[in-house]
Each structure stands twice: as C-alpha cells, then as structure tokens.
C-alpha cells in the first residue's frame, strides 16, 4: 500500500467515524493496520469499537487495541495511554448522558446528583485533552470525540424495561472501562489516578435505582393476580356448577323445579360476572401501568429534542 493509498484510507476511515458508521470505520482502520501495523491504525480500531459498545462489543477488545498500539512503538506509550484515558472519559460522559435519559424515573434529588456528576466529568475532560492538531492521531481522536454518543439508543419505541436494561448496562460498562484502564496504564499514572478518583466519586452519586420501574412491575403484578383469578373462575366455576347439579340428580326424590333451575342459572351468571370483573380489573390496572410507562418515556424523549 503506497503512502497515498494509506492517506486516502485514513480519510475514508475518518469520514465513516465522523458519520457514526463505526463498523465501517473499524474495517477501514483494520485494512490500514494489516498493511502498516501502525499505532494510529490500532488506536483507530479501538476508538471505532468504542462507538459500538452497546452493540455487544467487549470492552476487553477495545483495550486490546490500545495495548497493541503500545507494543508497536514504545516511544508513543505515554501518548497512547493519554488517548485511552481521554477517549474513555468521553465515552463515560456519553454513558452518563444515557443514564440521565433512561433515569427520568428517578426522583428529582437523584437526578440532580447525576447531572452534577456529569458536569464534573465534562469539566475534567477539558483539562485532560492534549493538543494534537495536524497529526493523524489527533484527527482520529477528534473524530471519535465528535462521533461517540449513545443517545440514539433511546427513542419513542423504547420500553421502560429496555431503559432500565440500558441504565444497568451503562453502569456495568463504566466499571469495565475502569478496570481495563488500570491494567493498561503504566506511565501516565498521575493522569490515571485523577481519572479514577473522579469516577469513584461520580459513580457513587449516579448509582441509584429507578423506582418507577418497580412501580410498573408492582402494578402489572396486581393485574396478573386479577388475570389469574379470572382463569381460576373459568376453570373451577363449571366444575362446581356440575357438582351442584349432580347433587340434585343423585337424590331420587328430588324433582327439578323452578327454584333449582333458578339457582343453576344464577350460578352460571355468577361465573360470567366474576370472569368479567377479573377481566375488567386486569385491563384497568394494565392501563395504569401503560400510562405510567408512557409518561416516563415521554419525558426521556423530550430530553432528546
């Protein structure tokens, strides 16, 4: 691959990265790495994988790329470690954005804590970033900072359960990033310690439950009880009715009269009445849960606009 071809492939990779086409960017950087085995290409692969974090790309793969870049050129170890820390902070900031979107069901006090933690991360990031203008590495890192965002994972069709799962996933990924950085960094220890100190503080502040999800689950549990009651009525009601009829039939001296027919008819009516009652209650309670879930989703979607 000629120098001109390498330069062209870097531009195509950057264009894909800025366009949030992370898989395409990853493949372009892999092509360059296969031909040049450069630190820049391996960092490009790692940053591209970072953009696919919530698409089941393991954090370990990302840090393998940074570790590989370090092994290629020992004179760039400090730079690569700094890039890994800076990019990780940008990713965590985006994950905190997602936590706020999926955490609209938090009470306001907890939500303010999350927003304060996010502000701390953003403020700290501005002091971390190094000036690499004009270099290939600087272009890759800049494109990654511009592109990486996870807000698109929340939209009008996202259920409250999916929001809860995204919320938990974001926290788990932050923990995984922290542990991988500890293994990666060998030179930029001061910067790494500052990074971990900030995250330890902010992580405690944002680690809260989403009470609305529990409310919805409790409401739907009540609806399930009514649904179960309705099924029980349908199953046992006819059996009890038939047993009652058999009691009358066993007695040879008993003649089927108006009173007996009325009682049997009343039994049938009661079966249908209780079945209808259970069905109506199930629908009413599920409607409450749906409304609560819609209100939470509406708040999250409005935040995106």
Give the number of other CB atoms < 10 A from CB of residue 31. 17
DSSP 8-state class, residue 181? H
What confidence score (pLDDT) does residue 42 get?
95
Tokens found for residue 150: 């996870």
Q: Is the pTM here over 0.85, yes or no?
A: no
What confidence score (pLDDT) does residue 283 get?
79
Q: How far is CA 100 from CA 94, 106, 112, 116, in A?
A: 10, 9, 10, 11
DSSP 8-state class, residue 187? S
**Which residue intervals of 73-210 are DSSP H helices?**
77-102, 108-128, 136-147, 160-184, 189-206
Write the CB contacts of 145 (distance below 8 Å, at least 6 apart in sequence).
Answer: 87, 90
pLDDT per residue, tens digit, the chain (305 aa), is: 788 888 899 999 999 999 999 999 999 999 999 999 999 999 999 999 999 988 889 999 999 999 999 999 989 998 898 889 888 888 887 887 777 666 654 455 555 555 565 566 555 555 445 555 557 788 888 888 778 888 777 766 677 667 777 777 887 888 898 889 889 998 888 878 877 777 776 665 555 444 455 666 666 677 677 677 666 666 666 666 566 666 666 665 655 565 656 666 666 667 677 767 777 777 777 777 677 666 655 554 444 33
Inter-axis angle of helices 108-128 and 77-102, to 10 degrees?
Answer: 160
Q: H or E stretch including 159? A: none
What confidence score (pLDDT) does residue 96 get?
77
| Angle at 46 (CA atoms; ends 11, 127), nearest 5 degrees | 90
Do 162 and 53 form a contact (C-beta atoms < 8 A)? Answer: no
Q: How far is CA 44 from CA 9, 21, 26, 174, 183, in A?
A: 12, 13, 7, 20, 20
Tokens found for residue 123: 């403020």
């Amino acid at each position: 691959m000629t120098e001109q071809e390498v330069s062209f492939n870097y531009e195509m990779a950057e264009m894909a990265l800025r366009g949030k086409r992370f898989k395409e960017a990853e493949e372009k950087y892999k092509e360059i790495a296969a031909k040049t085995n450069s630190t820049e290409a391996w960092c490009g692969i790692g940053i591209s994988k970072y953009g696919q974090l919530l698409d089941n790309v393991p954090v370990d793969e990302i840090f393998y790329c940074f570790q590989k870049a370090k092994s290629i050129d020992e004179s760039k170890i400090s730079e690569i470690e700094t890039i890994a820390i800076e990019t990780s902070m940008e990713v965590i900031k985006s994950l905190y954005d997602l936590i706020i979107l999926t955490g609209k069901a938090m009470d306001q006090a907890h939500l303010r804590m999350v927003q304060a933690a996010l502000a701390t991360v953003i403020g700290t990031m501005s002091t971390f970033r190094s000036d690499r203008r004009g270099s290939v590495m600087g272009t890759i890192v800049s494109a990654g900072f511009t592109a990486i965002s996870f807000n698109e994972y929340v939209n009008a069709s996202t259920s409250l359960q999916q929001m809860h799962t995204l919320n938990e996933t974001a926290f788990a990924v932050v923990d995984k990033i922290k542990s991988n950085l500890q293994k990666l960094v060998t030179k930029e220890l001061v910067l790494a310690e500052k990074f971990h100190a900030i995250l330890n503080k902010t992580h405690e502040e944002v680690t809260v439950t989403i009470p609305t999800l529990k409310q919805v689950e409790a409401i739907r549990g009540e609806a399930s009880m009514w649904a179960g009651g309705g099924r029980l009525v349908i199953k046992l009601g006819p059996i009890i009715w038939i047993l009652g009829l058999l009691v009358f039939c066993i007695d040879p001296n008993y003649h089927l009269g108006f009173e007996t027919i009325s009682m049997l008819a009343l039994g049938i009516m009661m079966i249908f009445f209780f079945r209808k009652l259970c069905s109506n209650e199930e629908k009413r309670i599920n409607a409450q849960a749906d409304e609560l879930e819609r209100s939470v989703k509406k708040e999250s979607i409005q935040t995106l606009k």
